[in-house]
């Protein structure tokens, strides 16, 4: 290998190690738009209108984000930003986190033992069905991590 080739290869590795990737303005803008839409999609999927209990459309959330002058932080995940923007949206619109339903099925041999423990973990029980000793409960949960510890 010639001295000139070694010099080029050495320079190449220096650029790879210490160089920065340059992104054009159009690419940055496209990335920002995609992230903004992703935040709006996440908020839309996590929240509902408290009066109707129906989710807001992504377009409504995008408009509300623009009205609150929400700006993306490129070094933070979209999920973090979506969770942080929900309290700001509450200042301008009626919005609540969606309550998730949980269905728990317990076999007959464990059902009586688990019933009281599970019942205390639900905020509201919609269905409590005993079928041949098996237990099925559906409702809104208080603390999902507590469910994971019980199960």
In a domain, 138, yes or no: yes
Please indicate, yes or no, whether residues 84 and 141 belong to a single structural domain of this protein.
no
Among residues 97, 118, 140, which one ends one of the domains? 97
pLDDT of residue 1: 67
Encoding tokens for residue 64? 């509300």
Please indicate, yes or no, whether residues 73 and 116 belong to a single structural domain of this protein.
no
Please indicate, yes or no, whether residues 78 and 109 belong to a single structural domain of this protein.
no
pLDDT of residue 36: 92
Please indicate, yes or no, whether residues 93 and 33 belong to a single structural domain of this protein.
yes
Q: Strands 47-48 and 96-97, how do they pair? A: antiparallel
CATH of the domain at 65: 1.10.10.900
Please indicate, yes or no, whether residues 78 and 59 belong to a single structural domain of this protein.
yes
Please indicate, yes or no, whether residues 108 and 91 belong to a single structural domain of this protein.
no
Of 45, 41, 67, the closest CA to residue 54 belongs to 45
Please indicate, yes or no, whether residues 54 and 36 belong to a single structural domain of this protein.
yes
This prediction's pTM: 0.65
> Is pLDDT larger for residue 87 or for residue 3?
87
Average pLDDT over residues 37-45: 94
At 51-107, the pLDDT tens digits run 998 999 999 999 999 999 998 888 899 999 999 999 999 999 999 888 888 888 888
Tell me how many domains the chain contains.
Answer: 2
Please indicate, yes or no, whether residues 130 and 117 belong to a single structural domain of this protein.
yes
Please indicate, yes or no, whether residues 28 and 92 belong to a single structural domain of this protein.
yes
Encoding tokens for residue 93? 């619109």
Host domain of residue 112? 101-150
CA distances (Å), 100 to each of 9, 33, 133, 143, 151, in order?
Answer: 57, 29, 26, 11, 18
């Amino acid at each position: 290998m010639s001295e000139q080739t070694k010099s080029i290869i050495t320079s190449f590795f220096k650029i790879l190690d210490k160089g920065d990737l340059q992104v054009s303005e159009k690419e940055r803008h496209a990335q920002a738009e995609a992230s903004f839409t992703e935040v709006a999609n996440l908020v839309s999927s996590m929240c509902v209108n408290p009066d109707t209990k129906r989710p807001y459309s992504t377009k409504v959330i995008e408009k509300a984000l623009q009205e609150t002058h929400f700006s993306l932080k490129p070094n933070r995940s979209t999920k973090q930003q979506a969770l942080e923007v929900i309290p700001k949206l509450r200042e301008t619109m009626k919005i609540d986190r969606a309550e998730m339903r949980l269905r728990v099925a317990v076999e007959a041999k464990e059902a009586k033992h688990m019933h009281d423990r599970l019942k205390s973990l639900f905020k509201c029980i919609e269905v409590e069905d005993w079928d041949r000793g098996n237990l099925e409960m559906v409702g809104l949960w208080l603390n999902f991590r507590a469910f994971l510890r019980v199960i």
